[in-house]
Structures are given as structure tokens and as C-alpha cells.
Amino acid sequence: MSDYRAPLEEIKFTLETMGQMRSWTNFKGFEEAGEDLVAAVLEEAGKLAADVIAPTNRTGDEVGAQWRDGYVTLPDAFKPMHKAFVDGGWPTLSADPAYGGQGLPSTLSTAVTEMITSANMAYSLLPLLTAGSIEAIAAHGSDEQRKIYLEKMVTGEWSGAMNLTEPSAGSDVGALRTKAERQADGTYLISGQKIFITWGEHDLSENVIHLVLARLPEAPAGTKGISMFLVPKILVNEDGSLGARNDVRCVSIEHKLGIHASPTCVMSFGDEGNCVGYIVGEENRGMRNMFTMMNHARVGIGLQGVSIAERAYQQAVSYASERVQSAAIGDQSRAPVAIINHPDVRRMLMTMRATTEAARAIIYRNVWALDRAHHAGTEAERHAAQAEADLLTPISKSYATDIGVEAASLGVQIHGGMGFIEETGAAQHYRDSRIAPIYEGTNGIQALDLIGRKLNMNGGAHWKSLIAEMAEFATAKDNSDLQKAIDALTAASDLLLANGVENIVDTASAATPYLRLFATVLGAYLLSQQAAEAERRLAANEGNPAFLRSKITTTKFYIEQILPQATALLAPIQAGARSVMAMTNEDFTHV
């Protein structure tokens, strides 16, 4: 497995172009986020990721998380690595200063998280889930809960876990059976079992704070009757010290295709009838509260797609540069050359690079919209930024995680037979990447969210505004290829928006191709913006010419080789569900 190098130049450029980094100090709360501070943070994060965290990736895959008698242990190398992460203050970067955070932009912490995730995707889920738990408690918890739990979670001393899924309730969360019983002292007793609980039990933090969805006895059916409860692994005394062990136990962990060092737990609550929980927010409002955490996690999972694609790309470039095989096509010499000289290998490498950079641009723009939704100067600006973030979130999660899988698969292909051998490490990236399109809402669910909720918000005002922005740019730059793709996106959007309830199956069948169409066009637009800035800097003799030229070349490749796929996706969207739903259930069994 090749070493990981943080792509600092690419990340900083994306922060500047997609995250408006040079304007951060103009926003209330971000006054300290100047260029020198940002550069220092990125530099140190890159060192941490490359030198401390990345070396644990292979060990984590080979040794994995180990379960014994209700306890989960991680490889020995993880403990000093996690300590370095916590002691360096990295979990506090964008957290609220009221709870010990540094209050820097989430867009900056996203850049740091990208590096951490590329270094070790399995480990990165620990701070990701903790950050989401912090956001949910901060938004919906009581003052007492914030006081007791948030500071320890912000520093990374305690971790957080999200408990939704049950054996009988996967994506249909409303079918859950976990129960909550009110007690006279205002607490609740929780009973039930949850599955697929990421980092639900481990030995890196001294406490795990579970956010658990459960149902009160008289609660209405479905998602309207779900409440959220805070269930600590170890109960916390009034003075903040740790008390007795709560009645919550990890009964097993899953044996998975990838991310072996991320314990995926089966959690049992109340086996002895004494699992104490505390209501978060109002009763029967748990699903709304949990979405605070889930939306945070969905963008973070999208970032995992970018991170694993970047790691796979770096390894593929390293291998292709060293592996000598066959003469170069069209060369008079028949001497064998490094395979990076062969056109099809170049095509695969460029596909990995271009789609990774497009997905990164989408993610960073999405997170900057979230930052503006909290820190913009006027209510109108904050509202518009939140609307943009809502629109982009399912696109970020779905497109970027699909790209992660596709890039990792191409990485294996570039390695040839050696890619199928575990020793090279290429297979680990592929195995690790495959979960990302599944968890935190499958990509099919993200596509349904896009067409079912986000497309119809305010009569389509938000996507229409974004399309108008893209079209204005295409016209100004006389970019006919981009305009053609924008026209296809507009036609698809208009068609799906016009579909009524009677055409809902047609709309649902078009959801996934529509999301891919939207993401591909958006990626082309954002890369074109970056290329235009690269051209400006080249002309002004600003920055690294080699990097700027490569950005322009990568964008041209995307426009010529990737973007045409977008216009082709209009046809299946227009076709509707005719062939999708034509076969009977029994027909599928015929072999």
C-alpha cells in the first residue's frame, strides 16, 4: 500500500473557490479564520493524517475491531493515534466555543476531516458520529444535558453513537420496537435491540453517549410516535464524574466486507430492566431531532467517498508510474514503458481524478452553504443558504459515495491482477468504499429525497436558481457543452416537477438517473469555475503554474469525457417506469 499525502494544494484551492475562504473573516464568529491560520491548520492536519493516522489503516483492516464478553477493543496502534487526535484539539475545530470548541468554519473542519478519512476511513467514523451527536444534543437537548455531556464530547474524551436501525426496522424507521417507559424521577427505562450501530462500543473513549430512537407506550404508530433518548454507556454523576455502568451492552459486532476497524455493533438496552435514558427534546419528536444528526452525517459520508477516491487515486498513480509493461502505442521504440503511458490507463486515472475533484467541489460548496446558513449577516441570506444546503445534501451524499466506489474499482483495475491481491492495498480501498452508498440512507433513498422533497420546495425555486446560475456562467464563457447538459437537466427537472401523484411511479423510477444527471452537470459547472480561476491566476502569474495547468486539463477531460453521460441520462428519465415495472414478481425467478 502506498503512502498517503494530503493534497494540500488541491484542498486549499477548493476552499478558496468553492468555500469562499478569503471571505471568512467577514462573517461573525469567523474573524480569526484568516489565511495564515487556515494554512497552518491544513499543514498540521496533513502531517497528522499522513504520519500518524495513515500508518494504522492496514493494521485496522487486518486486525480489526475485536469483541469479547460485551466489550470491543481496537488494535493497539489506534490508542496513541486517537490520543494524538484528541490531544491536538482536532475534534474542537468547528465546535461551539460555549462547549470548548474553537468556532472555526465547518468548511475548514471538512477539509481536515477529508484528510483524516483518506488516512483511515474506519477510524474517521468515530469523530464523525460524535460530531453529529453533538449537533443533535446542542440543537434539541436541555440546558442540563448540554452542560453535562457536550464539553467532554467536543474534546473527544467521550464519543457519540446514533441508534436507529433494528432487525425489523431498517430504512423504515417507523417500524421500530424499542420501548421507553416514563419513571417518576423524570428518567425513562429503555428496552430493545439496535443493529448496525457504528462505534457503539469501543475502548478509545471512556464513555459512549448513545442517541436512541424509541417509542412510548401510548405513542402513535409510525415515525410520528418516535422519541429520542440520551443513553450513556456509563452514567454521569451530578458533578460530572463517571458513575455506574448503565444497562446497555454490545452483544456482538458484525463481520464486514470492509472498514474492519469500525465496530458495527448489535446493542441491547435493558436486558436487566434498568437501562436509564433521558428524553432529548419533546416526546414523539425524535425523528425530527434525529434528522439533525443524520443530515450532518450524510454530508460527512459523502466526504468519505471523496476521501477514499483520493486515496485510491494516489495509490493507482504510484503503481502506474512504477509498473513497466508493453511498449507505448505509436512509439517507434518497442521498449516496455511504465503503464501510465498507455491511453486506457490514462483514461482510468483521469476519470478517477476528474470525478474526485468534481465530488470534492460539490461537498465543499455544500458545507459552505451550511456555514452561511448559521453565520450569514441577514435572515434572508441564511434562509437562502439553508435552502441551497438542503438541495445539495442528497446530491453530495449519493454522487460522492458512488464516485468513491467507482474510483476504488478503477484503482483495482489499474493494478491488474495485483489489484486483486490484498498485499497491494488496492482491494481494501474498494472494500472500504462499498458501504458508503448504503449507510446513512441508501443512495436510492437520497435520490427519492431529491425528487420527492427538494425538487418541490418552494415550487422548485431553489434548483431553478442554481440552474440559472449555471446557465449564466455557461453563456458568459460561451461553453456550449455545458449549456447542452444544463438544458438536459432543465428538461428533466421540469418533467419531474410536473409529474403529479398519478405519475409517481414514473418519478420514482427516474430518481437515481436524475440525481446522477444533476450531480454530473453540477460537477462540470463547479470544475469550470475552478478552471476559469486557474486561467486567471496563470495570466496574473499567481500560484503554482503546474497545479493550475493540471486543473484546467482535468476540467477539459471532465467536459469531454464525463459530461456527455449527463445528456444521455435524460432518455431513461423521459421513458418513465414502463420497462422498469413491466415484469411480474414471478418473472424475476425465471432462470
Q: What is the pLDDT of residue 290?
A: 80
**Alpha-carbon distance 338 to 323, whole Å?**
5
**Of these residues, 114, 440, 502, 542, which one is catalytic?**
440
Q: What is the pLDDT of residue 397?
A: 98
Yes or no: say if 53 and 120 are a contact pair by the CB < 8 Å rule. yes
H-helix segments, 276-342: 286-322
**Alpha-carbon distance 182 to 320, whole Å?**
62
**Alpha-carbon distance 210 to 268, whole Å?**
12
Q: What is the overall mean pLDDT for the chain?
A: 96
**Any idea which residue has 411480474 for its cell?**
584
150 falls within a domain? no
Give the other-Cβ count within 10 Å of 277's Cβ: 27
* Residue in 56, 53, 19, 51 with CA at minimum distance from that of residue 38: 19
**Alpha-carbon distance 566 to 555, whole Å?**
15
Q: Which amino acid is at 489?
A: L
520 falls within a domain? yes
Q: What is the pLDDT of residues 60-109, one digit of tens each?
A: 999 999 999 999 999 999 999 999 999 999 999 999 999 999 999 999 99
What's the CA dihedral at 531, 537, 539, 545 to 10 degrees? Answer: -90
510 falls within a domain? yes
CA 151 centroid distance within chain: 24
Total H helices, total E strands in the chain = 20, 14
DSSP-derived 3-state class of residue 376: coil
**Any idea which residue has 453540477 for its cell?**
522
* Residue in 3, 93, 10 with CA at minimum distance from that of residue 45: 93
Query: Quick one: three-class SS letters along 51-108?
Result: HHHHHHHHHHHHHCCEEECCEEECCCCHHHHHHHHHHCCHHHCCCCHHHCCCCCCHHH
**Alpha-carbon distance 293 to 212, whole Å?**
12
306 falls within a domain? yes
**Alpha-carbon distance 206 to 212, whole Å?**
19
Give the CA count within 13 Å in the CB-facing half-sphere of 357: 35
Yes or no: say if 1 and 425 are a contact pair by the CB < 8 Å rule. yes
197 falls within a domain? no
Verify whether residue 144 is a known catalytic residue: no
Mean pLDDT by runs of 10 across the 591 residues of the chain is 91 98 96 97 98 98 97 98 98 96 98 98 97 94 97 97 84 78 97 96 98 94 92 95 97 98 98 98 90 82 98 98 94 92 98 98 97 96 96 98 98 97 97 96 96 92 97 98 98 93 93 98 98 98 98 98 97 96 92 79
User: Which residues on adjacent β-strands are paired with residue 268?
Assistant: 193, 249
The three cell numbers of residue 341 are 503511458
**Alpha-carbon distance 562 to 557, whole Å?**
7
H-helix segments, 499-510: 504-509
Yes or no: say if 196 and 165 are a contact pair by the CB < 8 Å rule. yes
318 falls within a domain? yes
Q: Is the torsion defined by CA of 253, 255, 257, 262 positive or negative?
A: positive
Question: Domain holding 333: CATH number?
Answer: 1.20.140.10
Q: What is the pLDDT of residue 565?
A: 96
The three cell numbers of residue 520 are 454530473
Number of domains in the chain: 1
**Ramachandran area for residue 109 (φ above 0: left; ψ -120 to 50: alpha; else beta):** alpha
Q: What is the pLDDT of residue 292?
A: 76
The three cell numbers of residue 391 are 438541495
The three cell numbers of residue 330 are 505509436
What are the two backbone dihedrals, phi and then psi, of residue 442, each rounded to the nearest 5 degrees? -55, 160
Q: What is the pLDDT of residue 169?
A: 65
User: Which residues on adjacent β-strands are paired with residue 350?
Assistant: none
Yes or no: say if 511 and 444 are a contact pair by the CB < 8 Å rule. yes
Yes or no: say if 180 and 196 are a contact pair by the CB < 8 Å rule. no
Q: What is the pLDDT of residue 251?
A: 98
Q: What is the pLDDT of residues 545-575, one digit of tens each?
A: 999 999 999 999 999 999 999 999 999 999 9
What are the two backbone dihedrals, phi and then psi, of residue 527, each rounded to the nearest 5 degrees? -65, -35
15 falls within a domain? no
**Alpha-carbon distance 536 to 542, whole Å?**
8
Structural domain span for residue 449: 290-575
Q: What is the pLDDT of residue 134?
A: 95
532 falls within a domain? yes
